[in-house]
Structure 1
Amino acid sequence: MTPYETPYGRRYRSTIGWFEVGEAGLLVPNLVNQAMEKVKVIQERLKTTQSHQNSCTDVWRKELEFEVDDCVYLKVSPINGVMRFGKKGKLSTRYNDPYRISKRVGNVTYELELPQELATVHPVFHISMSKKCMSDPSLIILTEDIGIKDSLSCEEIPVQILDCQVHKLRIKEVASLKVIWRNKFVEEYT
Structure 2
Amino acid sequence: MLRACTLDFQGSWNSHLPLAEFAYNNSYQATIGMAPYEKVKLIKEQIRTAQSRQKSYADKRRKDLEFEVGDEVFLRLLPRKGLINPKKGGKLSPRYVGPYQILQRIRLKKYQPDPEHIITRDTPPLMENLSYTERPIRIIDQQIRQLRKREIPMVKVVWQNHNRDEDATWEMEEDMRNQYPELF
Q: TM-score by structure 1 length?
A: 0.39
Higher-helix-fraction structure = 2
Higher relative contact order (CA 8 A, sep 6+): 2
Q: Which has the larger radius of gyration?
A: 1
